[in-house]
Structure 1
Amino acid sequence: MKIFKKVSYIKILLVLLAFSTIGLIFKYIPNILAATVSLDEFNKYLMSLGKSGSIIIILFQILQTVIAPIPGEVVQIASGYIYGVPLGLLFTMSGLIIGSAIAFYFTRLIGGNFITNFLKKKNSKWLLDIMESKKFSIILFVIFFVPGLPKDFLIYVAGLTTIKPIKFFSILVISRFPWILASVSIGSNIQNGNYLSTIIISIIAMLSFLVGIIYKNKIINKFLEYKYNR
């Protein structure tokens, strides 16, 4: 009985937190988007904050994970530009993990029906299909790893499944790490004047993104075959 009450209190707190977060997002989203449209402006904004800039980097990365409209690459490149690779990577990965935890546990604890109905209304039934596959963990890794595929909302979808949290977050970190490292490295190389490295990394990232966009439907259809041919 005590455990049931404890879970109920946690759900109530999460609901209040979710509504508070949504309210703040709607209030400040124009300013947030305006700050991240230009990399130069975002860099100036962060540098004007001094030591608290690192906290803002983490918060922006959390928001980027929870709500897709914020361009994650701007946040990650700015993090590398101002703080270098080690700290920039630490801040962005921390934000990614915290934001993913919010999305994952929101679905798992209180938002399952909401996410399911949202997927049906948005004609994203393929996400509901792949989560029923026995190869869901592999599919999750591929989607997280390949640029150009829908990533952030898949975190909410993962919360609908029985995947263990430790397994989910391991897949998330391992698959997202290389490309976040690339973005942070671009920012650091720009700051240090290593333009050749910046160009090489940018070309590789751009080509990978284009491949993901061009073959997105084929990859998704391949995933759907896993469900029906398992």
Structure 2
Amino acid sequence: MTKKLINGLTILGMILSLLFLIYGYNQGLFTSQDKLNAFLNGFGYFSVVVFILFQAIQVVIPILPGSLGCLVGVIFYGPVYGFAYNYIGISIGSIVAFYLARRYGTSFVKSITKPKDYDKYSKWMNSLKNFDKWFALLIFSPIAPDDLLCYLAGLTRIQTKKFVTIILMFKPFSILAYSIGLDYLFGQITRLLGA
């Protein structure tokens, strides 16, 4: 039941995102900074709160790929504020995922992850002697499956304080890499579309 709900939310999130991208393109939100600012100003500060909550939720329930959420932050708020809001939201979501795994255990984590991914990474995780060091290295990396790793960390003996410290210290580097890379990529795409 949980897996079907999460799959349904993921599909719904992707459809809504696609519809918004079509709307944004038709309204010129992605090619005009003035139109984008006017759109965002319509929501006031509430837009920041909603975005941070969205980023936290998408870690716990994979509605969209995390990199897409980072792109949205960069597009809407620019590379500096986008990075900050991404960092806050993703850090909150990572800590919540850890606590959920620690509270509800293996059966819960299995119910919200793909069996193939769970089996692959849990076997790897259980074979490590220094999980916390490898975990820190992977959280630092922008290519690791961070959300899954946060759930799996909740199933290990890593101390909560150490987990939170790793997230807060090492997560900014991968988010920064996404923010800079996606900002550059988005700039190139808008130049092509605007030409």
Partner of 1:222: none
Q: Distance in 1 between matches of 2:113 and 2:163?
A: 20
Is contact 2:13-2:63 (8 Å) kept? Answer: no
Q: What amino acid maps onto 2:168 in structure 1? A: V
Contact 1:128 1:157 in 2 (8 A): yes
Distance in 1 (alpha carbons) for counterparts of 2:123 and 2:146? 16
Give the direction of change, closer, same or farther, for the CA distance of 1:108–1:51 in structure 2 (3 Å limit): same
Query: Which structure 2 residues correspond to residues 43-192 of structure 1 after superposition, within 5 A?
Result: 47=40, 48-115=42-109, 121-122=115-116, 124-132=118-126, 133-186=128-181
SS in 1 for 2:143: coil
Match status 1:36 vs 2:17? yes
- Give the deviation of 1:158 after TM superposition: 0.3
CA 1:27–1:130 in 2, change beyond 3 Å: closer, same or farther?
closer
CA shift for structure 1 position 187: 6.0
- CA–CA distance in 2 between the matches of 1:93 and 1:70? 16
Check conservation: 1:76, 1:88, Cα contact below 8 A. Answer: yes
2 CA distance for matches of 1:79 and 1:121?
Answer: 30
Distance 2:114 2:75 in 1: 41
Q: Is the 8 A contact 2:83 2:179 kept in 1?
A: yes
Distance 2:122 2:92 in 1: 24
Structure 1 or 2, whichever has the larger Rg, is: 1
Q: Is the 8 A contact 1:77 1:184 kept in 2?
A: yes
User: In 1, distance between residues paired with 2:81 and 2:113?
Assistant: 36
Deviations 1:149-185 (CA, angstroms, capped at 9, x unpaired): 3221111110011111221122223333123123333
* Structure 1 residue 94 displacement after superposition: 1.2
1:26 offset after TM fit, Å? 7.2
Distance in structure 2 (CA, Å) of the matches to 1:84 and 1:123: 33
**Structure 1 unaligned residues grouped into runs of 5+:** 1-18, 196-230
Question: Within 2, Cα distance between the matches of 1:159 and 1:96?
Answer: 16
Q: What is the CA distance between 1:51 and its match in structure 2?
A: 2.6
Q: TM-score, with normalisation over the residues of structure 2?
A: 0.67
**Alpha carbons of 1:149 and 1:181: their partners in 2 closer, same or farther (altered >3 Å)?**
closer
- Using a 3 Å threshold, how does the CA distance of structure 1 residues 117 and 60 change in structure 2: closer, same or farther? closer
* Percent of aligned positions that are identical: 27
Question: What CA RMSD, in Å, does the superposition of the two structures yield over aligned residues?
Answer: 3.8
How many equivalent residue pairs? 174
- 1:33-88: CA deviations, max 9, x gaps? 234344956976x7253332112211221122113350222322222233233422
Q: Distance in 1 between matches of 2:161 and 2:64?
A: 27
TM-score of the superposition, structure 1-length normalised?
0.59
